[in-house]
Amino acid sequence: GESVGLHLPTLSVQEGDNSIINCAYSNSASDYFIWYKQESGKGPQFIIDIRSNMDKRQGQRVTVLLNKTVKHLSLQIAATQPGDSAVYFCAENIGSNYQLIWGAGTKLIIKP
Amino acid sequence: EAGVVQSPRYKIIEKKQPVAFWCNPISGHNTLYWYRQNLGQGPELLIRYENEEAVDDSQLPKDRFSAERLKGVDSTLKIQPAELGDSAVYLCASSLGPGGYTFGSGTRLTVV
């Protein structure tokens, strides 16, 4: 079936290093992608989004890369901080149905 | 802006008992979603409202779950009777359109 998935369930990164979280999607009709951060006990929080007509978008310390050829999405976090510890989800939207399809999540662990 | 407000934050009930969750979306957000999230997984859509109309309830287990959004603002999700497998976090989100999803902190339901 069509789904969005993440390659690694857990990613450990040294504080101060850059983090790269990957996501694969299977529906070529997806035209909008979002990364969410979910801290323990909280709802998912919007980080950054990208539309399918773009291949890169930058925010504050975060960059999302979209490779439509291989249906791959990545989230890069620069200079990872302890506050970045969370589970990160990618989600895709198809058309105007407002429904997101979610991956299983990657837990980011920051090593001091 | 208060964000999406959900209550209660936690609920523990015995199986076969009823339970209700309440959500107040961001002011002006016409679209409201209820999601269910199991541990370590991404949220799964239960129902989506456009104003007071449920436009997508295909994933809502209608034999025991019900929802309402009578005035197109607040919403209530009910489970009756609850089963052990209903233990999860129930998230409410609201949006103006794709990409504007804002989530509440969720209600953690434990059925014993």
Instruction: Check CB contact under 8 Å for B48 and A99.
Output: yes
Q: What is the pLDDT of residue B67?
A: 97
Q: What is the pLDDT of residue B1?
A: 61
Instruction: Check CB contact under 8 Å for B103 and A104.
Output: no
Nearest CA in chain A to B9: A41
| Beta strand pairing call for B107-111 and B10-13 | parallel
Q: What is the pLDDT of residue A28?
A: 87
- Residue B59: name the closest of B84, B73, B77, B71 by CA: B77
Per-residue pLDDT 10s for chain B (112 aa) are 679 999 999 999 999 999 999 999 999 999 999 999 998 888 999 999 999 999 989 999 999 999 999 888 999 999 999 999 999 999 999 998 766 689 999 999 999 9
Q: What is the pLDDT of residue A6?
A: 46
